[in-house]
Amino acid sequence: MFLPAGGFSGNEGLNIARYLRDKFETHLIDLPGLGKSQGIEGRITPLKLAEWVKEYMDQSQIDKAFLIGHSLGGAILLAFAIYYPDRVYKLILLDEGHKPFPRIPKSEFGSFAYAFPLLSVCVQLFGKYFLNRLAPFFMQDNEQGKDDFAVNVKEFCDRVAIEENEYIRIAMKNPGEFSENGLKLMFGYYNLNLPSMLKKIKVPTHLIYATFETIHETEYKRTGKYIQKFKDSNLPIEYSSVNSGHYVHWSSVFPWKDLKKSLSD
Query: Does residue 248 contact residue 242 with C-beta atoms inside 8 Å?
Result: yes
Strands (DSSP E) contained in the chain are: 2-3, 65-70, 88-94, 205-210, 237-242
- Give the ranges where 145-199 is alpha helix by DSSP (H): 149-160, 166-173, 180-190, 194-198
pTM here is: 0.92
- Walk along the chain (265 residues) and give the pLDDT tens digit of each residue: 999 998 899 999 999 999 999 999 999 999 998 888 888 988 899 999 999 999 999 999 999 999 999 999 999 999 999 999 999 999 999 999 999 987 777 666 656 677 778 888 888 877 777 787 777 776 655 555 556 899 999 999 998 899 999 999 999 998 877 778 888 898 899 899 999 999 999 999 999 999 999 999 999 999 999 999 999 999 999 999 999 999 999 999 999 999 999 998 7
Nearest-5° angle of CA 237, CA 243, CA 248? 65
